[in-house]
Amino acid sequence: MEKLLQAIETKHEKMVQFLEKMVNIDSGIDSPEGVAKVARIIGDKLAEMDFAVEYLDYPGACTHLLAKKQGTGNKEVMIIGHMDTLFPIGTVAKRPFTIKDGKAYGPGVLDMKGGITIALFALEALYESGWNDKNVTVLFAGDEEPAHPKTNAPELFEQHAKGKDAVFNMETASAGQAVLVGRKGNIHPELIVKGIAAHAGADLDKGASAIVELAHKIIAVNKLTDKDRGLTFNCGVITGGTVANAVADSASVVIDMRYLTAADGAEGLESLRKIAAESVIPGTSCEVSNLRERFTPMEVTEGNLKLYEIVRQQGEKLGLAVEKKVGGGASDAGWTVRAGAPSLCAMGARGSFNHSDREFIELDSLVERTKLLALSIDAV
Ligand SMILES: [Zn+2]
């Protein structure tokens, strides 16, 4: 073990260089070419370790990377993540990878190119030490930030996670040492209300206001939030009407719904359907649309907790107190848990301010978390 840990320490500079190379490529949803470039950099590194690397191209959308390597034993480990960021083309030119006071900055440095770097160097260190007793699958998506709108990434995660003994999602770690054993699912349902248009002066009584009906519905939706259960509803975007002097015949709201279990999600949608079906303003009607599950919940399973226990013990060897948490955000670990695979999320670099221009990682967390992941992969 000591040798492996020392070998990882010597990799610090190379890790920083590798991370810099990836961060300095714009790879948002508007840049499939950038995502493909990042995929090549990762794929080349995995090919050096004798992985069979596949690039799954979705023209006009993005590229996913799938890589596999057979080990000598029967255990199956999977490492997942995403190569895209939510920053548009031009962000790298404005604020490229920089280092200041032990922190690295740049688009996607924390979410989650730091995590990808950790995964690759943990594997490299393991293989260089002669370790090869597990089958390893790596699946990195190219369109996680917008929740995979044009690809079948969720099915891929689920399909490849089946039968795995452990799945590690290299998502952003928190500022501390916590890893996530659960995360919420997320849907953005839309309530679309239809009313009856009428002149606001001459024919007010002949109209049925979609906007007033929507106002009632928004209050009702807001009351559905049950924080104790982790079931939340946020009416985030409303539209409606065209001019002030007409009764509005249409209005809609887009809702962010989050839930900890599939059962809670189903119940939440049922409540929304009920609200849609009951009109306060006669003459209005409502339909619920956009029920695509953006992320399925990463339910807290026995398997996740056992895997956490393994990681916690490895952390202890390194002098790190690794805690477990359930996160309010969503991630692709939901799909791998749904496939029945014990999974942990937030195995990536430590840092803060995801999705903002203040995003950074603590540079010393690269080596630290690489050690934690390498020991954990070995211990599974
Ligand atoms: Zn992420």
pLDDT, tens digit, 9 for 90 and up, residues 201-259? 999 999 999 999 999 999 999 999 999 999 999 999 999 999 999 999 999 999 999 99
Within this chain, do residues 89 and 230 fall inside the same structural domain, yes or no? Answer: no
Question: Which of residues 294, 317, 351 is at a domain's end?
Answer: 294
Task: State the average pLDDT for the chain.
Answer: 97
pLDDT tens for 52-70 read 999 999 998 999 999 999 9
Mean pLDDT for 356-376 is 97
DSSP string spanning 20-83? HHHHTS--STT-HHHHHHHHHHHHHHHHHTT-EEEEEEETTTEEEEEEEE--SSS-EEEEEEE-
What whole-number percentage of the chain has pLDDT above 70? 100
Distance from Cα 72 to the centre of ligand 1, integer Å? 32
What is the CATH number for 209? 3.30.70.360
The pTM for the full model equals: 0.93
CA–CA gap between residue 292 and residue 189 (Å, rounded): 8
Q: How far is CA 135 from the centre of its chain?
A: 24
Distance from Cα 273 to the centre of ligand 1, integer Å? 31
Does the pLDDT of residue 175 top 80, yes or no? no
Distance from Cα 332 to the centre of ligand 1, integer Å? 9
Question: Which of residues 235, 270, 294 is at a domain's end?
Answer: 294
Strands (E), 87-215: 98-100, 103-105, 135-141, 166-169, 179-183, 185-187, 190-194, 198-199
Within this chain, do residues 40 and 152 fall inside the same structural domain, yes or no? Answer: yes
Give the pLDDT confidence score for residue 176 in this predicted structure.
81
83 cis-preceded (ω within 30 degrees of 0):
no
Give the pLDDT confidence score for residue 174 in this predicted structure.
72
| Cα angle for residues 179, 350, 10 (degrees, 5° grid) | 110
Distance from Cα 111 to the centre of ligand 1, integer Å? 5
User: Per the structure, how many domains does the chain have?
Assistant: 2
Distance from Cα 219 to the centre of ligand 1, integer Å? 32
pLDDT tens for 250-303 read 999 999 999 999 999 999 999 999 999 999 999 999 999 999 999 999 999 999
Mean pLDDT for 77-89 is 97
Within this chain, do residues 221 and 145 fall inside the same structural domain, yes or no? Answer: no
Give the pLDDT confidence score for residue 4 in this predicted structure.
97
Give the pLDDT confidence score for residue 76 in this predicted structure.
98
Distance from Cα 322 to the centre of ligand 1, integer Å? 20
Distance from Cα 171 to the centre of ligand 1, integer Å? 5
Domain enclosing residue 289, as ranges: 186-294
Within this chain, do residues 259 and 321 fall inside the same structural domain, yes or no? Answer: no
Distance from Cα 16 to the centre of ligand 1, integer Å? 19
Q: What is the DSSP letter of 4?
A: H
What is the CATH number for 29? 3.40.630.10
Within this chain, do residues 229 and 372 fall inside the same structural domain, yes or no? Answer: no
Question: Which of residues 294, 326, 345 is at a domain's end?
Answer: 294
Distance from Cα 145 to the centre of ligand 1, integer Å? 7
8 A C-beta contact, residue 18 and residue 349: no
What whole-number percentage of the chain has pLDDT above 90? 98
Taking only Cα atoms into account, the Rg of the chain, rounded to an integer number of angstroms, comes to: 24
Within this chain, do residues 169 and 261 fall inside the same structural domain, yes or no? Answer: no
8 A C-beta contact, residue 296 and residue 333: no
Within this chain, do residues 274 and 305 fall inside the same structural domain, yes or no? Answer: no
Distance from Cα 263 to the centre of ligand 1, integer Å? 25
Q: What is the DSSP letter of 229?
A: G
Q: Please state which of the ranges 166-175, 252-261, 353-362 shows the lowest mean pLDDT.
A: 166-175
Distance from Cα 119 to the centre of ligand 1, integer Å? 14
Distance from Cα 84 to the centre of ligand 1, integer Å? 8
Distance from Cα 210 to the centre of ligand 1, integer Å? 38
Distance from Cα 189 to the centre of ligand 1, integer Å? 22
Among 266, 289, 271, 268, CA closest to 217: 271
Within this chain, do residues 142 and 13 fall inside the same structural domain, yes or no? Answer: yes
Distance from Cα 167 to the centre of ligand 1, integer Å? 16
Distance from Cα 220 to the centre of ligand 1, integer Å? 32
Give the pLDDT confidence score for residue 102 in this predicted structure.
97
pLDDT tens for 100-147 read 999 999 999 999 999 999 999 999 999 999 999 999 999 999 999 999
Distance from Cα 172 to the centre of ligand 1, integer Å? 6
Distance from Cα 278 to the centre of ligand 1, integer Å? 38
Distance from Cα 82 to the centre of ligand 1, integer Å? 7
Confidence band (pLDDT; 50, 70, 90) for 173? confident
Within this chain, do residues 179 and 206 fall inside the same structural domain, yes or no? Answer: no
Distance from Cα 19 to the centre of ligand 1, integer Å? 15
Within this chain, do residues 149 and 103 fall inside the same structural domain, yes or no? Answer: yes
Distance from Cα 355 to the centre of ligand 1, integer Å? 9
Distance from Cα 348 to the centre of ligand 1, integer Å? 10
Within this chain, do residues 119 and 42 fall inside the same structural domain, yes or no? Answer: yes
Within this chain, do residues 68 and 130 fall inside the same structural domain, yes or no? Answer: yes
Distance from Cα 165 to the centre of ligand 1, integer Å? 23
